[in-house]
Amino acid sequence: MLRRALPLLLVACASLLAACGGSDDAPPQVTFTVAGQTRTTGPTQWCDIKVTDCSGDPAAEIHLGVAPGVTVDVAVPEPVSTAPWQVVFSYRSAGGQQVDGRSPVFAANARKDYSLVLPAPTDQLITAQVQQYGIPTADPDTGQGEFPIRGSWVLVTDA
């Protein structure tokens, strides 16, 4: 059943993402807000809609002080929210263990913001990254869906 539904899902996603624009569009900016401090940045990685032509800008990574247990608010503009996106993050627990996590994947046009709240008030955020998906593809050998990342906006904390 899943194998038959995958091609339909891929076609639907490709059609939706194709409406988002081409590689001629300027890369969108994402805003991170922490305890009243707001920083807006461009992507550290940005690709065309098919994720075949990519460029990187490590200098776009932003740094903010984030105290343990503080919420990070993320706001994405329409060019990001018109495709599926998520927030991927890493934090250090009170016991010193690094833990990786991710938000749900937000469907295209479902929302433009997300509040990242770590599980415990003693958890220390290390990094948060907004990821926008490109057009999904299928592995020709296995038929498994692949969901490439088109753009990535990075926050690194200054603990």
More confident residue, 1 or 146: 146
Q: What pLDDT, on the 0 to 100 scale, is given for residue 49?
A: 87
Interval 7-25: pLDDT, tens: 434 434 444 444 444 445 6
Domain range summary for the chain, segments of one domain joined by +: 2-157
Whole-angstrom distance, CA of residue 69 vs CA of residue 79: 30
Where do the DSSP E strands lie in 15-134? 30-34, 37-41, 45-47, 54-56, 62-64, 72-75, 85-92, 98-102, 113-116, 124-133
Rounded average pLDDT over 91-106: 97
CA atoms within 13 A of residue 110's CA, in its CB half-sphere:
10
51, amino acid identity? V
pTM of this prediction exceeds 0.75? yes
Q: Who's near 103: CB < 8 A, 6+ residues apart? A: 86, 87, 88, 114, 116
